[in-house]
């Protein structure tokens, strides 16, 4: 029999004579060597398969979480490169198992209890509610749960689960959802609550500003049409009838314009009450602000618009909780005033407030106006502080960012997660939500004021040295 070890005839005989051993001994040693080589080749093959599998799992996670690809899309991508680990079943199993291993707990790993403010709200995948709780400053997700309902019991269990991870709530920012409010009263009644100013005022009344503006333009258009018809009338009877219609249209237009202008002015008065600093940069007095707010609300009621007054009833409820953020603002300003000159602090306060408005602005022109205004305000203190400007600005902005008025950041999470929902056809799994929470908390922001940092770093104050994918692979080694 041919063997690569003894390819030349007479090799065994020559070896036995040279080393004075039997031919059988050489054959026995040859057999042992072949076994060792065979095992080594098998081990190398297993190692190669493991490396390939690990590489594929990394690609699957990256394509799913970064590229937001569907499972079918991932399968097609991998098969294009002739990868044998590309079946839809394999990809689905890997994602499900990875989600199970990651779990639904936030991995803060701190020796002491973490006390933080929280924003809680509900987002929906079709008709399926997802309970989301985040820390607003870092935008870290500390709880995301797929549920069957939004009842108080479900929220209680969700918050209990978070608290059992050595996390305490310094304050709660949420809207007026019945189940959530009932859960707060039962589980954390002593935790200060900030009513969500966006959903309570800006969202509800902002829609009415748009509707009244549209109604105004519609009335104007109807008046133009009535005027055209009046001019084109031929007979005396038609002229009289169309003249009456034109007069009615004019009265309706005047009322629509007056209602819109009055409401718009009062609406902006309400929004101005949520500004923390006055025009000189000084912290507003909360009692004065609340008084101005109540006055504006009463004037809106006097407009006698039935449907708007229905919205006002919701605003009247727990009015004091709309301005809890002033307590935080007072504390922050008091701390800063011990280190920074009052005039400089006022200037920075106005600049920060302008910066916040700029971030919320949707129109490019308005955003540019606010950006230029912020730069003008900062230019004044930059000349005074010189080399200390950047450090002082970062310190003040960072402290002021602790003031939170709205749980609208949950809507940001909603906008981030929405493309994934589309690939799920609005039928997500808890395992995917686990993966999404881990990815979101450990990936680096690529734009905005959090650019270059991860939510986990901002939440814990610790430096994250590894990429989110490496951290995730460390947790799911068992499936590689």
- Provide the residue ranges of all domains of the chain, joining segments of one domain with +: 4-86, 114-183+428-479, 197-323, 325-405
Neighbours of 207 (CB within 10 A): 11
In terms of Cα–Cα distance, which of 293, 305, 273 is closest to 208?
Answer: 305
Contact indicator for 260, 215 with CB cutoff of 8 Å? yes
Contact indicator for 129, 410 with CB cutoff of 8 Å? no
Cα 97–Cα 100–Cα 104 angle in degrees, nearest 5: 150
Q: Which residue has the higher pLDDT, 314 or 110?
A: 314
pLDDT tens, 184-228?
999 999 998 888 888 788 888 989 999 999 999 999 999 999 999
Cα 395–Cα 398–Cα 400 angle in degrees, nearest 5: 105
What does DSSP say about strands 114-125 and 128-135: parallel, antiparallel, or unpaired? antiparallel
- DSSP code per residue over 23-88: HHHHHHHHHHHHHHHHHHHHHHHHHHHHHHHHHHHHHHHHHHHTS---HHHHHHHHHHTT-SS--H
With residue 260 as reference, give the H or E element that holds it: helix 236-273
| pLDDT recorded at residue 47 | 54
User: E-strand spans in 317-458?
Assistant: none
Contact indicator for 5, 30 with CB cutoff of 8 Å? yes
| pLDDT recorded at residue 153 | 94
Alpha-carbon distance of 69 to 105, in angstroms, equals 25
Does the domain made of 114-183+428-479 have the CATH classification 3.30.420.10? yes
Mean per-residue pLDDT of the chain: 87
Beta bridge partners of 17: none
- DSSP code per residue over 5-22: GG-STTHHHHHHHHHT--
DSSP letter for 450, please. T
- DSSP code per residue over 79-104: HHTT-SS--HHHHHHHHHHHHHHH-S
How sure is the predictor about 361, in pLDDT bands with cuts at 50, 70 and 90? confident
What does DSSP say about strands 114-125 and 140-146: parallel, antiparallel, or unpaired? unpaired
| pLDDT recorded at residue 1 | 40
pLDDT tens, 249-294?
999 999 999 999 999 999 999 999 999 999 999 999 999 999 999 9
Alpha-carbon distance of 114 to 193, in angstroms, equals 18
Alpha-carbon distance of 176 to 181, in angstroms, equals 7
In terms of Cα–Cα distance, which of 277, 284, 312 is closest to 297?
Answer: 312
Q: How many residues does the chain have?
A: 480
| pLDDT recorded at residue 101 | 93
pLDDT tens, 144-195?
999 988 899 999 999 999 998 889 999 999 887 889 989 999 999 999 888 8
Instruction: Provide φ and ψ at 103, rounded to 5°.
Output: 80, 175
Alpha-carbon distance of 48 to 44, in angstroms, equals 6
Alpha-carbon distance of 350 to 278, in angstroms, equals 8
Alpha-carbon distance of 411 to 403, in angstroms, equals 18
């Amino acid at each position: 029999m041919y063997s690569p070890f003894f390819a030349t005839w007479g090799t065994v005989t020559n070896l036995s004579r040279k080393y004075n051993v039997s031919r059988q001994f050489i054959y026995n040693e040859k057999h042992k060597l072949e076994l060792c080589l065979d095992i080594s080749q098998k081990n190398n093959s297993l190692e190669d398969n493991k490396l390939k599998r690990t590489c594929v799992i990394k690609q699957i996670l990256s394509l799913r979480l970064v590229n937001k690809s569907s499972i079918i899309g991932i399968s097609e991508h991998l098969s294009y490169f002739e990868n044998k680990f590309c079946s839809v079943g394999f990809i689905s199993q890997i994602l499900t198992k990875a989600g199970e291993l990651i779990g639904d707990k936030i991995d803060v790993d701190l020796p002491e209890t973490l006390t933080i403010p929280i924003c809680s709200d509900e987002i929906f995948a079709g008709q399926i509610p997802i309970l989301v709780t985040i820390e607003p400053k870092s935008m870290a997700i500390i709880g995301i749960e797929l549920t069957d309902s939004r009842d108080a019991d479900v929220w209680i269990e969700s918050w209990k689960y978070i608290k059992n991870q050595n996390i305490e709530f310094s304050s709660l920012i949420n809207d007026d959802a019945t189940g959530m409010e009932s859960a707060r009263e039962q589980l954390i009644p002593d935790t200060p609550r900030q009513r969500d100013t966006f959903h309570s005022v800006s969202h509800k009344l902002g829609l009415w500003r748009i509707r009244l503006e549209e109604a105004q333009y519609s009335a104007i258009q109807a008046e133009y049409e009535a005027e055209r018809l009046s001019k084109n009338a031929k007979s005396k009877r038609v002229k009289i009838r169309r003249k009456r219609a034109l007069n009615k249209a004019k009265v309706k237009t005047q009322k629509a314009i007056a209602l819109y202008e009055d409401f718009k002015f009062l609406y902006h008065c309400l929004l101005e009450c949520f500004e923390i600093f006055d025009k000189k940069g000084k912290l507003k007095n909360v009692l004065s602000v609340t008084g101005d707010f109540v006055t504006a609300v009463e004037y809106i009621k006097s407009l006698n618009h039935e449907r708007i007054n229905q919205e006002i009833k919701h605003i009247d409820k727990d009015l004091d909780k709309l301005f809890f953020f002033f307590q935080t603002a007072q504390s922050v300003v008091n701390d800063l005033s011990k280190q920074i000159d009052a005039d400089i602090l006022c200037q920075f306060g106005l600049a920060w407030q302008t910066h916040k408005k700029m971030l919320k602005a949707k129109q490019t022109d308005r955003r540019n106006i606010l950006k230029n205004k912020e730069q003008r305000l900062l230019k004044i203190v930059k000349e005074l502080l010189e080399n200390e400007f950047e450090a002082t600005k970062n310190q003040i902005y960072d402290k002021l960012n602790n003031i939170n008025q709205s749980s609208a950041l949950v809507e940001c999470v909603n906008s981030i997660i929405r493309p994934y929902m589309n690939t799920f056809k609005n039928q997500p799994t808890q395992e995917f939500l686990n993966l999404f929470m881990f990815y979101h908390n450990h990936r680096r922001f690529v734009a905005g004021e959090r650019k270059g940092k991860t939510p986990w770093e901002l939440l814990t104050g610790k430096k994250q040295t590894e990429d989110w994918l490496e951290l995730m692979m460390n947790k799911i080694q068992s499936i590689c």
